[in-house]
Chains A and B, each alone.
Chain A
Amino acid sequence: MEENKDFKPQAIIEVTEDGPIKITGNFLLSDAKRDIMESPTEIYLCKCGRSQNKPYCDESHKK
């Protein structure tokens, strides 16, 4: 992996293997369909497709 000392990520995207996508840092979440526009410091997004509370994870992946 190439090391880049000048690289300053604004956000960290953590894709868990069996769970959600965790995003932390400086980011802006938008979802035109649900009229969401927000800038929290941490979110968990569904990536299994089964959440009843999309785009967020509601732990449906465990069922």
Chain B
Amino acid sequence: MGNERSFRRGRKYTNGEIIVYWKPDSCIHASHCYRELIEVFDPGKRPWVDMSGASTEQIIETVNMCPTDALTWKFNDDERNMDIDPEHTNHVNFRRPELMVAGNETNEEPVSVKIMPDGPIVLNGTFTLNYSTYRKDVKESILSLCRCGASNHMPFCDGTHRKVGFTDN
């Protein structure tokens, strides 16, 4: 797991709940991150941040120890970014407000591709869908694609998977 994307000479990583931003130019090698949480922040590995190595709470706690803005974080769900206590936090609201400006960053959200158990693929985000000569630009929206092969409305899910008894196994 882990998500590594170039972002203004920095990188970002997500576990689906929070995004951690890495800005190498700001790092003064205080070493709090890997001394505290080597399971997530391991300079010897590539990518060096593994978001599956610890809980969201532990990751936030460790990022907040970074003395610079080399490591900052925010919730994927923007509503949860509203009530952050500015004390001792490396939330991007306070450390890198440029990342919170609408349009600066929100367009970079990865598209969520969710496999529903015994059901369709649910796409959520900003993406282009191509199907034969059909093309659709989807902006910050959700749609479901058939995974059972029996839809009467290809490539979209029309609920037929329940009738045909499609299972994941």
A residues apposed to B, CB below 8 Å? 1, 4, 7-15, 17, 21, 23, 25-34, 36-39, 43, 45-50, 54-55
Contact = CB atoms under 8 A, between A and B. Distances in A.
A50 B155 contact: no
Contacts of B146: 47
A47 B145 contact: yes
A10 B109 CA distance: 7
B81 interface: no
Contacts of B5: 26
10 contacts: A9-B137, A10-B111, A11-B113, A11-B128, A13-B123, A17-B131, A26-B108, A28-B110, A48-B149, A49-B166
B10 interface: no
A36 to B, nearest CB: 7
B145 A9 contact: no
B139 A7 contact: yes
B130 A37 contact: no
Contacts of A15: 129-132, 145, 154-155
Contacts of B128: 9, 11-13
A47 B110 contact: no
A10 B168 contact: no
Interface in B124-169: 125-132, 135, 137, 139, 145-150, 154-155, 166, 168-169
Contact of B125 (A14, A27, A29, A50): A27
A55 B111 CA distance: 17
B113 A27 contact: yes
